[in-house]
Amino acid sequence: MLKVDDVAFSYDGKKKVFENISFSLKQGEVLCILGPNGSGKSTLLRCLNSLLTLNNGNISLNGKDMTRMSRKELAAQLGFLPQIHVSTFPFSVLEVAVMGRAPHLGLAESPSEKDYALAKENLELLGISPLADKPYTQISGGERQLALIAMVLTQKPRILLLDEPTSHLDFGNQIRMLELIKKLSTKGFSIVLTTHFPDHAFHLSSTVAIINKGTFMAAGPADTVITEENLKRIYGIDVQIAYVNSSKICVPAKK
Amino acid sequence: MHWNYKTTLIVLLCVLIAIFFASISVGRYVISIDSVLKILFFGDRSDSTATLVIFNVRLPRVIAALTVGASLAVTGAAFQGLFKNPLVSSYQLGVSSGAGFGAALAITLAGSTLMIQGYAFFFGIIAVLASFAMSRIYKGSSTLTLILSGIIVGSFFSALVSLMQYIADPRDTLPSIVFWLMGSLASIRVSSLLPTVIVIVAGITVLMLVRWRINILAMGEDEARSLGINLRVLVSLVVACCTIVTASAVCISGVIGWVGLVIPHIGRMLVGPDYKKLLPVSLLIGASYLLVIDDIARTLISGELPLGILTALVGTPFFGYLLWKAKAGWS
């Protein structure tokens, strides 16, 4: 449903952030993008959401060129979770969740009881119903991320773009987030996420793409892409891939 | 935590109605509430002085006060959301400095009241257009650049106002400019009030219709775009409405500070930050507030106190109190 064809982007028109990137995403598929700091993961995700304009190549959604779609049309297909989000005003978690209805409401419309019911359903799904009336500014980072996911789900998109969804979470919440991503993919959402943890790609047993020096260095199933050689190439450290209870984990090698 | 929205609306509406009739009643020529109601609603014309005072002086002035108060509160609240900043007011894009220059220019040219209002309105709009154009030059639609452009343009017009004051005749023109800048409703004329009120009502109606979407603007630009908002259209619409409303208010009242900044915070304390509730509540509080302030301005001393002085004297300590309590609804 999402097809990315030979895209390139540059902020200043000279130095390319990335180029020659192509991939496609099927329904229910999870694509995990790995790469060192500053490799352009977030920039790529922002391009996928049309927040930045490509210098080359094109992206199509269900066969339709994305540059020809309005923001409203895009929002009906794509949900975006930013890396960090702060709000100036203490909207309640429910008020934040119901904002996801924006692409489905007219310019002069406010959310109805039905829209609030849908938002509450998603709070329930994510297990944060007790937070509904809590101010968004006074909950923890993990809870805030869940509130934003509730908003994105209320938006009812088909593709989720998650920018480092695990980066500000404690260990337990990271695993819960991964389980949630798995659950959402079985519900039919296609998901693109960026992460700093190769283990998370193993955990999701997803498709993995490694972005390094401005292009996809490798792409394919986690088991073939996440290798000791590849990890050394992108992170510059020796890594050993070990098995614990038949699942793979990455450990820094002893010198 | 917060008050029930519907109850709050009803209470505030009742308070506004009570203050409205009380304001018609008080003044140097006191008219009992009883007579006010009789004259307004039952066509009682037996007291010709009271009838004259009500229809020619009090009613226009009271309507002007509540309209200006409502305008500043609503536009202040809308700008705070748009700019994601609880410290901005209706004047953020330079509308008051522009209007001040227009008024000063018209006063220097010995213009009529109508000309002063016209110039104030025109230059208020020009200042905002300049801010908007400037923010576009630094490519991108960032609201932060818009704030900075507003400060730049505001300062430019303030300098022009100072220039006008410097060259003005210190015997008559200078005091007129200074008084205009302090804000007053003493020179309200029925003829110019009606068109102004119509423009303000139209602008506020549009803001009310799109008010829920201001929440989404307040969440951030990328978030708003991801939620399917055409940022350019919505931001332009909100800025255009706020500008027309504020410029209209300023051209009949002069510069009245601290209403657009403080009232939205009181609204947030009552019903929370959701603009669906905040905007109507701010409108009612703003209208009542300026009515009371104007009553004080025309009854406290034998002359007239400028409104801008009173709103600042009341607004600043109150804002200090809000900061101290730190629960005014921002983090």
B84 touches chain A (CB under 8 A): yes
Give one DSSP letter per residue of B157-191, joined into a string. Answer: HHHHHHHHHHHS-TTTHHHHHHHHHH---TT--HH
> A226-246, pLDDT tens digit by residue?
999 999 999 999 999 999 988
Answer left, alpha or beta for residue B15, where phi above 0 means left and psi between -120 and 50 means alpha.
Answer: alpha
How many residues are given for chain A? 255
Domains of chain B, by residue range, sit at 5-325
Q: What is the SS3 assignment for B93?
A: coil
Q: Which amino acid is at A57?
A: G
Average confidence (pLDDT) over A201-215: 92
Structure confidence at residue A80 as a pLDDT band (50, 70, 90): very high
Domains of chain A, by residue range, sit at 2-219
List the single residue in A70, A80, A90 with the smallest CB-CB distance to B329.
Answer: A90
Residues 170 through 229 of chain A touching chain B, CB cutoff 8 Å: none
Q: Are A148 and A85 in contact (CB under 8 A)?
A: yes
CA of B221: which chain A residue's CA is closest? A51
- The Cα–Cα gap between A151 and A82 comes to 12
Q: Are A211 and A39 in contact (CB under 8 A)?
A: yes
Average confidence (pLDDT) over A6-29: 93
Identify which of A158, A175, A157 has the alpha carbon closest to the alpha carbon of residue A166.
A175
Q: For position B187, what pLDDT does the model report?
A: 85
Q: Which amino acid is at B128?
A: V
Q: What is the SS3 assignment for A208?
A: strand
Average confidence (pLDDT) over A88-97: 96
- The Cα–Cα gap between A19 and B90 comes to 45
B209 touches chain A (CB under 8 A): yes
Q: Are A85 and A144 in contact (CB under 8 A)?
A: yes
Contact B229 A102 (CB under 8 A): yes
Q: Which two tokens stand for residue A192?
A: 């693109």
Q: Are A90 and B329 in contact (CB under 8 A)?
A: yes
Between B59 and B329, the higher pLDDT residue: B59
Structure confidence at residue B191 as a pLDDT band (50, 70, 90): confident
Between B110 and B77, the higher pLDDT residue: B77
Domain spanning B5-325 has what CATH number?
1.10.3470.10
User: Which chain B residues have a beta carbon less than 8 Å from that of A76?
Assistant: 228
- The Cα–Cα gap between A219 and B76 comes to 51
Between A42 and B327, the higher pLDDT residue: A42
Q: Which two tokens stand for residue B230?
A: 């055409």
Q: Which amino acid is at B265?
A: H
The mean of the pLDDT values for chain B is 93
- The Cα–Cα gap between A24 and B299 comes to 74
Q: For position B141, what pLDDT does the model report?
A: 58
- Distance from the Cα of B22 to chain A's closest Cα (Å) equals 35
In sign, the C-alpha dihedral spanning B101, B105, B107, B111 is negative
- The Cα–Cα gap between A204 and B197 comes to 61
B276 touches chain A (CB under 8 A): yes
The mean of the pLDDT values for chain A is 94
Q: For position B303, what pLDDT does the model report?
A: 86
List the single residue in A72, A92, A100 with the smallest CB-CB distance to B272.
Answer: A92
Tell me, rounded to whole angstroms, the distance of Cα B132 from its chain centroid: 20
Q: Are A201 and A208 in contact (CB under 8 A)?
A: yes
Structure confidence at residue B331 as a pLDDT band (50, 70, 90): very low
Q: Helices B231-253 and B95-108 meet at what angle, rounded to 10?
A: 40
Structure confidence at residue A53 as a pLDDT band (50, 70, 90): very high
Task: Give the A:B interface size as CB pairs under 8 Å.
Answer: 97
User: Which chain A residues have a beta carbon less than 8 Å from that of B142?
Assistant: none
Q: Are A250 and A239 in contact (CB under 8 A)?
A: yes
Contact B225 A108 (CB under 8 A): no
For B39, list phi and psi in degrees, rounded to 5: -70, -40
Pairing of strands A30-34, A207-212: parallel
Q: What percent of chain A has pLDDT over 70?
A: 100
Between A43 and B187, the higher pLDDT residue: A43
Q: What is the SS3 assignment for A107?
A: coil
- Residue linked to tokens 């304001």: B23
Pairing of strands A16-25, A2-10: antiparallel
Structure confidence at residue B309 as a pLDDT band (50, 70, 90): very high
- The Cα–Cα gap between B237 and B259 comes to 22
Q: For position B62, what pLDDT does the model report?
A: 97
Contact A99 B227 (CB under 8 A): yes
Q: What is the SS3 assignment for B115?
A: helix
Identify which of A163, A212, A156, A208 has the alpha carbon closest to the alpha carbon of residue A184.
A156
Structure confidence at residue B329 as a pLDDT band (50, 70, 90): low
How many residues are given for chain B? 331
- The Cα–Cα gap between A174 and A181 comes to 11
CATH class assigned to A2-219:
alpha beta
A12 touches chain B (CB under 8 A): no
- C-alpha distances out from residue B23 to A112, B132, B223, Å: 38, 39, 45
Mutate to test the interface with B, among A89, A96, A101, A156 (most CBs of B within 10 A): A89
Q: Which amino acid is at B161?
A: V
A103 touches chain B (CB under 8 A): yes
- The Cα–Cα gap between A25 and A60 comes to 11
Identify which of B234, B232, B251 has the alpha carbon closest to the alpha carbon of residue B115.
B251
Average confidence (pLDDT) over B285-295: 97
- The Cα–Cα gap between B207 and B202 comes to 9
Q: Which two tokens stand for residue B66?
A: 């509540």
User: Which chain B residues have a beta carbon less than 8 Å from that of A91?
Assistant: 215, 218-219, 272-274
- The Cα–Cα gap between B298 and B294 comes to 6
> B193-242, pLDDT tens digit by residue?
999 999 999 999 999 999 999 999 999 999 999 999 999 899 999 999 99
Q: Are A49 and B221 in contact (CB under 8 A)?
A: no
Identify which of B100, B77, B106 has the alpha carbon closest to the alpha carbon of residue B247.
B100
Residue B273 has pLDDT above 50, yes or no: yes
Structure confidence at residue B322 as a pLDDT band (50, 70, 90): confident
Residue B327 has pLDDT above 60, yes or no: no
Rounded to 5°, the CA angle B109-B110-B116 comes to 85
Residues forming beta bridges with residue A252, ordered by sequence position: A239
Q: Which amino acid is at B222?
A: D
Q: What percent of chain A has pLDDT over 90?
A: 89
- The Cα–Cα gap between B331 and A142 comes to 18
Structure confidence at residue A222 as a pLDDT band (50, 70, 90): very high
Contact A87 B219 (CB under 8 A): yes
List the single residue in B211, B215, B225 with the smallest CB-CB distance to A91.
Answer: B215
User: Which chain A residues have a beta carbon less than 8 Å from that of B85?
Assistant: 88
A84 touches chain B (CB under 8 A): no
Q: For position A227, what pLDDT does the model report?
A: 93
